[in-house]
Amino acid sequence: MNKLTLADLDLDRHQVLVRVDFNVPLSERPPTQPFEDVSYAVADDTRIRAALPTVRAIMEAGGRAILLSHLGRPKGQPNSSLSLAPVAEHLGGLLDGKVRFCNSTTGPLVDRTLRSMPDGTVLLLENTRFHPGETRNDADFAKDLAQLGDVFVNDAFGTAHRAHASNVGVAQRIPKAAAGLLLERELRLLGDALHHPTPPVVALLGGAKVSDKIGVIRSLAAMADHILIGGAMSYTFLKARGFNTGASLVEDDWVDDALNMFVAAAGKLKLPVDHIVSTDLRATAEARTVSRDIPAGFMGLDIGPATVERYLDILRRANTIIWNGPMGVFEKPAFAAGTHAMASGLAEVTRKNAITVVGGGDSVAAVHRAGLASQITHVSTGGGAMLQFLEGRDLPGVSVLTDRS
């Protein structure tokens, strides 16, 4: 990566503007000190902890870390339920209380807070998406943000595929813009898996829509030995091949594209040979295992046991595996077996020194739910960014960083 990294920056006594990804789930709770107006708590701090190495490095070097993040989709308007105040409280607990929070992103209040901060401390600013200029990369908003920092660090891989004011706009207006430790690690591991993999290479792709993954399939078909398809997207492929899909989710507008892709993949693309089906998602509904043809009125909701064994056999012989998207509706216990089996399979081959990379919100949630995240080589913090990277497309949040040369 020919971009500046954190190691290239002089951080001592500098204001370091850092784009992090603290878009984390919150849960309601009674207000507590030190932020008395906080009525929510962080429910999952995985993304917060992922940014800690960069934040701590800035603190230890004597810099002041000014953190920018979005949370949810407030559509350019303040929304108390999407405030980053509870995140600041949680972050303070992780950093020995050396965290301040400002309920603005720019303006006099931010300036006053910064002037009162000693070196080696952290300031988290309010949700950047409370400002209408964030998502449209407004020049004035980006300029106001850029004035807060001497240097800029992007450590938010999860938003690197978006050209917003707090990542692209700011980087364009600060002389030195570098990749943080998390972003650097994401790019290195994903880049190695995509461009320098150890064969055999297997891609495991699931999720709802073929339309979301068609570009990734085209890209991976050029380097993978096998592409294993699961989730609702498999039913579009199966319908394209002439199988009955019952009431399963099918993208009818993409059936022809799916057939063309299946033919072009020259045998690499594998589809489920059986399914767990039901008439609906209710726990009381009848669930059964069927072969590739799904009866009328039934919908496919997970890959079946024969498919699980077929896919695990391929995974066990792989040295590089890239997984994006669940195999079924894993949130429901009756339809979670396929996804859980794939997570267990990846953990098994990782222990045998295979390189395994998992990305996408649902896939990441599945490995965490199975308690196997620590047994995967790399669990990516990006969903859409990972897909765009795997397609071979530029990530605006990365391209804008300062070239090392």
| DSSP assignment of 79-137 | -GGG-SHHHHHHHHHHTTT-EEEES-SSSHHHHHHHHTPPTT-EEEEP-GGGSTTTTTT
Q: Which two tokens stand for residue 302?
A: 């997970």
Spatial distance between the Cα atoms of 249 and 283, rounded to a whole number of angstroms: 19
Closest of 302, 307, 345 to residue 228, by C-alpha: 307
User: Annotated catalytic residue: which of 76, 120, 215, 361?
Assistant: 361
Phi, psi dihedral angles at 387 (to 5 degrees) = -60, -45
- Catalytic, out of 62, 72, 76, 384: 384
Torsion angles phi and psi, residue 66, rounded to 5: -110, 110
Is 209 noted as a catalytic residue in this protein? Answer: yes
**Pick from 298, 310, 299: which is nearest to 271 by CA?**
310
Query: Phi then psi for 142, rounded to 5 degrees?
Result: -60, -40
Catalytic option among 47, 64, 173, 268: 47
Catalytic, out of 100, 209, 218, 369: 209
Contacts for 222 with CB less than 8 Å, ≥ 6 apart: none
Strand bridging mode 274-278 / 299-303 = antiparallel
Indicate the DSSP class of residue 295: P
Antiparallel, parallel or unpaired: β 15-19 and 64-68? parallel
Q: Would residue 76 show up in a list of annotated catalytic residues for this protein?
A: no
Helix (H, G, I), strand (E, B) or coil at 313: helix
Q: Is 47 a catalytic residue?
A: yes
Closest CA to 6 of 59, 49, 47: 59
SS3 for 197-226, per residue? CCCCEEEEECCCCHHHHHHHHHHHHCCCCE
Q: How far apart are the first and last CA of the chain?
A: 11
361 noted as active-site residue: yes
Residues in CB range of 75: below 8 A, 6 or more apart: 129
- Which residues participate in catalysis according to the annotation? 47, 209, 361, 384
